[in-house]
Amino acid sequence: MKIYRYPERNSWPELVKRPVFERKELSGLIAEIFEAVEKGGDTALIDFNKKFDKAVTPQITVSEAEFEKAEQEVSADLKKAIQQAKENISKFHAAQIPETEKIETLKGVVCWRENRAVEKVGIYIPGGTAPLFSTVLMLAVPAQLAGCREIILCTPPDANGNINPAILYTARLCGITRVFKTGGAQAIAAMTLGTESISKVYKIFGPGNQYVVAAKEYAQNYGVAIDMPAGPSEVLVIADQQAVPEFCAADLLSQAEHGSDSQVVFIADEFKIFTETIEAVEKQVKKLPRNEMASKALDHSLFILTDSIEKALEFSNLYAPEHLILALGDFEKYIPMIENAGSVFLGNYSCESAGDYASGTNHTLPTNTYARNYSGVSLDSFVKKITFQHLSKEGLKKIGKAIEIMAEAEGLIAHKNAVSIRLK
């Protein structure tokens, strides 16, 4: 832990800095993988499964039998939990579907926007230590609600060539039946370029390791869009004397257990809460199965004692955390001060894991200072907003003159003509 008591403002820019990852080194490898997938298609993916995941996968497409087996393997309790989470996520994201409002900017000039789903989307779900079926919910639910016509999902197989049953169960629950056994940069390449089994998509979503992140960036060279740039996960907790140290500690640790590069920040305006939270963290971390990872994350965590909640929020805005927890008695007062954050958790009972799984908000959020300029994933991420306009002859008459004058002043005479010829 790095402990700072009343750090001067001029030290803040140094404190909010995130670790720098050198991605350029990966670009050669990523280019090679894209080339191999472009040439070899499914065969290349099968080879990569052997090479990187030690998995024998004669078919990369998950079969109906595999879906059914998964359905049987997931416990009834887990199914019920996933269904409940899906319901809440659906409810929150469905409310994001806007009604079309036609605006008459002038009599006879009517403008509006309509949502259209991104037709083809690809979801990447990482393998590794945690089978992130919750991320399937967070991406598949809004994709379905938006009306995306093709939704495919790629995830790496385990050493036996299988996909975690909870991932398959959740995918099918959300209407996704095209799931492919491929992971890492090669999965991103496959969704970008297409193979015999996997169709090209227009937008790729989902988290992953540095190879996946680099491959998503690389995919953009092919005209594919991505959800957002990525970095390690983050939480910033602001606590006052009404906070509960054990709760704060548990939240900080639920971030720390994600990985050794997780970013954990705690700010309190009171010495007692500050020290008691540090003690609670030290006590709780010992009992975690992922103790080693969490401890490494804690090594570079920030614990800051400050003299006011206002100042804590000012620091938070500069930091722009992915998750911001306001463990404050009077949290409502501070909401308007929040400028940069991915998702905000209010009060003592809004733990981050509620939003990670089941409250309804999305857990795919901007990290690495991107909360300054990006939103988290929402229904908006799966649609384009197309503008429409209809001008009547009378409408064009009303603004025609203005258009002609402006077009001429910009030296664009054909633009002017398009009006003049209609008003002749």
Indicate if 322 belongs to the active site. Answer: yes
Q: Is 209 marked as binding a ligand?
A: yes
Q: DSSP character for 239?
A: E
To the nearest whole angstrom, how small is the minimum distance from the Cβ of residue 375 to its own copies?
Answer: 4
To the nearest whole angstrom, how small is the minimum distance from the Cβ of residue 401 to its own copies?
Answer: 7
Contact 171, 136 (CB under 8 A): yes
Q: Is 323 marked as binding a ligand?
A: yes
| Distance in angstroms (rounded) separating the CA atoms of residues 356 and 365 | 10
Q: Is 75 marked as binding a ligand?
A: no
Give the pairing of strands 109-117 and 179-181: unpaired
Q: Is 220 marked as binding a ligand?
A: no
Q: Nearer to its own copies by C-beta: 57 or 343?
A: 343
Q: Is 22 marked as binding a ligand?
A: no
Stretch that binds its own copies, among 31-39, 186-194, 307-315, 403-411 (CB under 8 A): 403-411
Q: Is 241 marked as binding a ligand?
A: no
Contact 126, 53 (CB under 8 A): no
* Catalytic position from the list 66, 257, 323, 352: 323
To the nearest whole angstrom, how small is the minimum distance from the Cβ of residue 396 to its own copies?
Answer: 5
* Contact with its own copies (CB under 8 A) among 111, 144, 270, 275: 111
Q: Nearer to its own copies by C-beta: 49 or 348?
A: 348
Q: Nearer to its own copies by C-beta: 190 or 201?
A: 201
For 382-422, give the DSSP string: GEEEEEEEEE-HHHHHHHHHHHHHHHHHTT-HHHHHHHHHH
What the block records as the tokens of 122 is 């690809």
To the nearest whole angstrom, how small is the minimum distance from the Cβ of residue 64 to its own copies?
Answer: 23
Report the interhelical angle of 413-423 vs 393-409 (nearest 10°): 150
Site for its own copies in 49-88 (CB under 8 A): 77-78, 80-82, 84-85, 87-88
| Distance in angstroms (rounded) separating the CA atoms of residues 268 and 209 | 32
Residue among 229, 188, 233 nearest 212 (CA)? 188
Site for its own copies in 298-357 (CB under 8 A): 331, 335, 338-357
Residue 5 has, within 13 A of its CA and on its CB side, a CA count of: 4
Q: Nearer to its own copies by C-beta: 29 or 337?
A: 337
Q: DSSP character for 61?
A: B
* Catalytic position from the list 322, 352, 363, 404: 322
Compose the 354-393 pattern: x for residues touching its own copies by CB under 8 A, - for all others.
Answer: xxxxxxxxx---x-xxxxxxxxx-x-x--xxxxxxxxxxx
* Contact with its own copies (CB under 8 A) among 8, 22, 64, 101: 101
Question: How many of the other CB atoms lie within 10 Å of CB of 178?
Answer: 16
Site for its own copies in 129-158 (CB under 8 A): 129-134
What the block records as the tokens of 367 is 């990290």
* Contact with its own copies (CB under 8 A) among 15, 31, 97, 399: 399
To the nearest whole angstrom, how small is the minimum distance from the Cβ of residue 28 to its own copies?
Answer: 14
Return the SS3 of 172: helix
**Binding to its own copies by residue 13, rule CB under 8 A?**
no
Q: Which residues face 157 on adjacent strands? A: none
Q: Nearer to its own copies by C-beta: 26 or 45?
A: 26
Site for its own copies in 229-288 (CB under 8 A): 229, 246-247, 250-251, 253-254, 256-258, 284, 288
Site for its own copies in 163-182 (CB under 8 A): 166
Site for its own copies in 180-219 (CB under 8 A): 202-203
| Distance in angstroms (rounded) separating the CA atoms of residues 240 and 15 | 21
| Distance in angstroms (rounded) separating the CA atoms of residues 279 and 172 | 44
Q: Is 93 marked as binding a ligand?
A: no
If phi over 0 gives left and psi between -120 and 50 gives alpha, with beta otherwise, what is residue 102? beta
Residue among 148, 215, 210 nearest 186 (CA)? 215
The C-alpha angle with vertex 271 and arms to 270 and 277, in degrees rounded to 5, equals: 95
Q: Is 363 marked as binding a ligand?
A: no
Residues marked as catalytic: 322-323
Binding residues: 124, 186, 209, 233, 255, 258, 323, 356, 410, 415
| Annotated binding-site positions for substrate | 233, 255, 258, 323, 356, 410, 415
